[in-house]
Amino acid sequence: MRNAFLGLLFLLCGACARFENPIVAEGGPALDQALIGRWFAEGPDGRFEMEIVRAGNEGRIVATSTEKGEAPKSEELRLITARLERQTFASVTGTRPDGNWTLLRYELATPDRLVIYLDDDGAWDDAVRNKLIPGDAGEAGKVRNSRVTASSEELRGFILGYGSVIFGDQPNGEFRRLY
């Protein structure tokens, strides 16, 4: 459950690396139809639920976190998915048009099991500092806080080349489908 709440924290607060643009497939913004529905994770600390619905070419997530002894907290998010070769990626942001995007890799291990893999923000910091991808690396010696300004096309190309380094093989969160 701790990993699911880390995933929630990641989705709601964003990673250290911030993205001006989502990653999209060559066909443009899309939503993986298989993600539509209600998903949950729960454990001793509480429960996390998210409902994913279609909103045009993209998705909308309504996420609710309920920790023991606290009132539920909800957030509405935008979702764009992309299949790049054999892997699937999601870009998530708040509903404000000026929000930053967060990137993650996901897979449907089974139709009712969604597994999330977070990125290594240090890899983004290095890529921006080494000018492999456009962005602002922030101040040296400070907490990592890169801002990646690459276009969706540049992100797609970079992930196709370096995705195995950026996104690990160990899942950070797992969700089950609610029926």
Tokens of 167: 């996104």
CA-based torsion, 72, 50, 177, 46: positive or negative: negative
Count the neighbouring beta carbons within 10 Å of the beta carbon of residue 30: 15
**SS3 assignment, position 171:** coil
| Distances in whole angstroms, Cα of residue 88 to Cα of each of 32, 50, 84, 163 | 9, 19, 6, 11
d(CA 153, CA 83): 13
pTM, rounded to two decimals: 0.86
User: Can you give the pLDDT of all 179 residues of the chain as single tens digits?
Assistant: 444 444 454 444 444 578 999 999 888 899 999 999 999 998 888 899 999 999 999 999 999 988 888 899 998 999 999 999 999 999 999 887 777 898 999 999 999 999 999 887 788 888 999 999 999 876 655 545 678 999 999 999 999 998 888 888 888 889 999 97
How wide is the angle at C-alpha 105 spanned by C-alphas 149 and 115, nearest 5°?
150
At residue 77's C-alpha, the angle toward residues 67 and 9, to 5°, is 40
Instruction: Return the number of other C-beta atoms located less than 10 Å from residue 61's C-beta.
Output: 20
Provide the pLDDT for residue 76: 92
Which residue ranges make up each domain of the chain?
2-178
Go through the chain and tell me how many residues it has.
179
